[in-house]
Each structure stands twice: as structure tokens, then as C-alpha cells.
Chains A and B, each alone.
Chain A
Amino acid sequence: MPPNGPERFCPGDKDRSKIAKSLRMKIKHKIEKGNRVGYLFVSPYIIFFLLFTAYPLIFSFVLIFHKWNIIGPMRWVGLDNFITLIHDALFWKSLANTFIFLVIHIPLQIVLALIAAEMLNQKMRLRVFFRGAFFLPVVISGVVVTILWQQFYSTDTGLFNALLTHIGLPRVPWLTSTKAAMPSIALMATWKNMGLYIVLFLAGLQGVPRYLYEAAEIDGAGKLQQFLKITIPAINPTVVLVVIISTIGGFSLFIEPYVMTQGGPLNSTMSCVLYIYKQAFTFYKMGYAAAFGFILAFIILGVVWVQRKVVETEVYT
């Protein structure tokens, strides 16, 4: 609204209500127009959704019942893809590998990130610097991180084994033994993602009301007790979030084994997505790959659902 001008521009009461009425009409008209504009504005999304979400969803449901090498015609095979999948040792192997990854990655991630976040949450200098340092690997491509760690993990020339032999321990075949390879990748992934979880935990910790700690202190609770009884329950939503994000990440594991081990040795680092990729783009079995993707999607949703049930608690704050 313009500021009040000189006397002569001020409309009388009658005029004022007239203007107000016409204004209301104008706005109403615009709102009706908003209806059309609304559709216009969401139309790019509707097209996008139909093409790149709805169509693939529906087509996946067709593809899983077919054999198709993408060049020739599709052939209906019924449930064959699923029957083959159940008898495919590598399908189970890739799932088992993912679980090995998650069992190491998730607890390690939570413990380390929580400790780091708790430290950064103290009154301290250089917080921004430390946080920025921890976060650095998060922004850098997984390809780079993997190339780098491949050198560190090298059995003969790697820095880790140089360190171990230096303090008189035997070399570890980080990437060349079937037992160590997947845990090695899990360790690397923990290093890469920790910065993100530190930031999430830090946000969670800063949301815990101070008075809870003050009250606990008056009641004579020690630091450790405060951490276990106040902090842990209060940041439960963040823990749930971290568990879910790292689970989805674990099931999406691809570039790390692709660059580092190609799924070896003896398929011990064959991840689910790497297996789907190989079936689709090395053997051109689109139907089979789609069937694995289909089952995997339900496994992921199932696992996340169970995790929510188990980890999520009522928050007392």
C-alpha cells in the first residue's frame, strides 16, 4: 500500500469500500486463475512423473516376467526369472555381502560419528575447521576415495601394511582375501560418510534441551550417565535416520567394489547393484536384472521397516 498522500487524494468512506470491493473481486478473479496456473505449474512434474517414475514402475512389472536382451524381441517366461534367482548362488551371495557390509558399517558409523559429534558439541575453538575436515570426504566423488584407498589397502605397497609391519604386526591381505575384502570396503565407506553423520548428530545434539542436563546434574548424575540416559534417548530420531540412510547406502553399494575389486576375490565383494549391473550390461539379461531389482526394492523397504520398528523409541523431551 502506498503511504498516505496529501489530503485531496484520500478517498471518502464510500469510495474506500468500493475500492476494497473491487480489490476483493480482483483477488478472487486471480485465485480462480490460480487454479489454471496451478495445473500449468505442476504439469512439468506430471509429465516427468509419468515418464520417469510411473512408466518404469509399470514396465518393471512387465519386464520381470520376460527374457529380453534389449536387441531382440521380448519373450514371456512367467516366473522363470524368480525361480532362477532363488537358485542363483550369487544372488544370495550378493545379499549376504550387503549384510556383512551393514553389520560392520552401521555400528561403527554410529559410534564414531556420535563420539566425534559429542566432542564438537563441547565449548571449543576451531569447531568450524574440524567439522569441515570431517566433512571433506563426503563431497568428494566415491571414485576418488576408492582409487585412493585401493593404494592404502595394497598388500605389498600399501600404507596400512607399512604401518602394521612398522609396529611389528603381520601384513593384512585387505583386498585379496575373501574374508577381509568386504569389511575393508565397509571401513572405507565409514570413513567417507562419517562427516555427514557427524553433522546430523551435531544437529540432533544441539536440539537436546539444556535444562535436562542441568536437572540431571542437580540430581547428581555423572557425565556418562547423562549421556546414556538423556542424550541417547533424545537423539533417537537421528539414530533412526542414520541407520536408514546407511542401510539404503549399503544396498546401493556399487562404485566401490566396481573400482576396487570388480566384485572379487571370489565374489566376496559382489554387491547387489554390481550384480544387477553385470547381469544387465555384461550379459544383457534385462528381465533377470529387473527381477533382482524388483525383489531388492522390497527387501530394502522391509529392512528399513524392521529397523524403524526396532530402533525407534518414544522421545521423552
Chain B
Amino acid sequence: MTGKIIKKWLFYIVLTGAAVTFIYPFLWMAAGSLKPEIEIPNFSLLSRNLSVNSYKVVLDKIPIIRAFFNSVLVATSVTASVLVFSSMVGYALSRLRFRGRELIFTVILFTMMIPFQLTLIPLYTLIVKFGWTDTYWALIVPYMINAFGILLFRQYFKAVPQDLIDAARVDGCGELRILFRIIWPLSVPALVTVGIIVFMMTWNEVLWPLIVVRKETIMTMPQMVTLFAVGGRVESQVGVKLAAAMMLTLPIVIVYLFFQRHFIASMATTGLKG
């Protein structure tokens, strides 16, 4: 009996230790961004000299608030667009009949296999040709439709009863109305899944913005924080770096705390499709 109890304790101690290694670094970052420079390199999360000085330096040196709104603009535009367009395509592929439907489906599967390294440079040259460098277009338009979203919607919409769609058609509903008024309300889990994944990926994307945007007023938040951390402007002040990182972390962590279950469930489906 005691053996069982000890085993149970050990089990929770190991798990708690593991959980601490995943949470503590972020707490350390939060503390470090508030501590004076010399106190940062120790394990303690507390200090008598907490101040928001590092944040003031960040706000002073880079337009990070502007970058935050750029990120919000880009991430919400991309997410909204993916939801609308991918669900339209997903609906057509699952509920409408037309010639070439299977071909389009095959093409979508094929595009998912293409490594992005292959199209990265040609895509950049296209953006240059369009004159889209240093514009929001470059950050938004190439992400407006998403193959993963199409496949997930297609799968999900297949389960909607045909009677419902037929009834709406008889009542004179147009297909767009059917999609947005009948199918969407029945597909909230799929919309949430695609929405969360797309939003998170766009929010955290940094390679593409680094390539197509050089102008500070258009930069997204991760890009700006990256250039700030890498460039000389931090003057090797760790606290300032951590403050910038903190500002980049907070929005997504707040969203995560509210929608934790959805985040995890969504990411689990990304895996399942493979």
C-alpha cells in the first residue's frame, strides 16, 4: 500500500518538475524584464528593485505599438480571409457538383506537399514585380487562402445533412447564403480550429516579413523584435531584450489562456490530417 502511495507521489513530482521546466522560463523572462540589469542572471523571480524601465526603453527606441497594430491588422485580415475563401472552396468541393472538382481537390493535396523552400525566392520576385514590397499586401495576400483550411472544411461540411441544404435551396436561398447562414453556424468547431491555427501561424511568422518588409512602419511585431534583438540598438541590455520579448509574448499568451482547450484540440487535428 505504501509502495503505491510513494509511486503516486513520485509520479506527480516528476510531472510537476517537467511542468516547471516549461513554465519557469517564461516567468523568469517576465521577472527579468522588470529587474535591474545586474540582478537578471540569477534564478530568483523576485527583486526589491522592480521597475518598468526596460519597457520604457523599448517604447522609446522602436515603434512597437505600431508594430503591434500591424500584426493585429495582418493576422486578422489573413484569418478572416482564410475562413471566408477556404470555406467557399471547401463547400464547393464537398456539396456542389461541377466538372473538374476532383482535379482541383488533387491539386490542393499536391500543393500541400510542396516544401516552401522551393517557392520562397520566386514568390519574393513576384512580390517585387507587383511593387508590393513594404506594403501590407505582401504580408496578407499570399496567405489569403489555405489548403489545410480547405481540406478541413471540405471534410467537415460533408457531414451536414443534405436535406437542410435542399430545403434552403427550395426556399430560394442562394449558395452564399446557404454557406454563411446554414453551414457556418453548424461548423463552429471547424471555424475555430482553422481560425486559431491560421491566426497563430500568421502572428508568429517572421521569415516572410523579414524578406518583404524593410520599412519600420509596416513591420510586424515578431519581425521588429527580431531586428531589435539582433541589431545593435539593444546595446546588449538583456532587460530591454526581455521586455521586447515579453511584449511579443503577452498577446498570444492571453489568447491562449482563454482558449487553451481549443488551441490544443486544433493543433491535434493538424497532426491527424497528415
Chain A positions near chain B (C-beta within 8 angstroms)? 1, 23, 26-27, 30-31, 34-39, 41-42, 44-46, 48-49, 51-53, 55-57, 59-60, 63, 70, 116, 119-120, 122, 124, 128-144, 147-149, 151-152, 154, 157-159, 162, 191, 195-196, 199-200, 202-203, 238, 241, 244-245, 248, 251-252, 254-255, 258-259, 262, 272-273, 276-277, 280-281, 286, 289-290, 293-294, 296-297, 300-301
Q: B121 at interface (Cβ–Cβ under 8 A)?
A: yes
| Interface of chain B: mostly helix, strand, loop or mixed | helix
| CB-nearest residue of chain A to B81 | A44
Q: B47 at interface (Cβ–Cβ under 8 A)?
A: no
* B48-56, B87-95, B186-194 - the one binding chain A: B87-95
Interface contacts beyond A52-B126, A59-B125, A133-B23: sample of 5 additional A-B pairs, CB < 8 Å, sorted by A: A52-B142, A139-B253, A141-B206, A199-B264, A276-B121
* CA–CA, A38 and B92, complex, Å: 5
Q: Which residue from B40, B122, B204 sits with its C-beta under 8 Å from A142? A: B204
Cβ distance B25 to chain A, nearest Cβ, rounded Å: 6
* B61-69, B72-80, B109-117 - the one binding chain A: B109-117
| Interface of chain A: mostly helix, strand, loop or mixed | helix
Cβ distance B193 to chain A, nearest Cβ, rounded Å: 13
List chain B residues, Cβ under 8 A from A23: 170
* CA–CA, A36 and B100, complex, Å: 12
Q: Which residue from A132, A152, A259, A286 sits with its C-beta under 8 Å from B264? A: A132
* CA–CA, A137 and B19, complex, Å: 11
* CA–CA, A277 and B210, complex, Å: 10
With known contacts A147-B245, A262-B230, A53–B115 Cβ distance under 8 A: no
Between-chain CB contacts (< 8 Å), 12 pairs: A34-B175, A35-B96, A42-B88, A56-B118, A56-B126, A60-B119, A142-B204, A144-B245, A152-B25, A162-B43, A203-B271, A301-B115
List chain B residues, Cβ under 8 A from A196: 267, 271
List chain B residues, Cβ under 8 A from A248: 115
Whether the pair A136, B256 counts as a contact (CB closer than 8 A) is: yes
Whether the pair B150, A45 counts as a contact (CB closer than 8 A) is: yes
* CA–CA, A135 and B253, complex, Å: 11
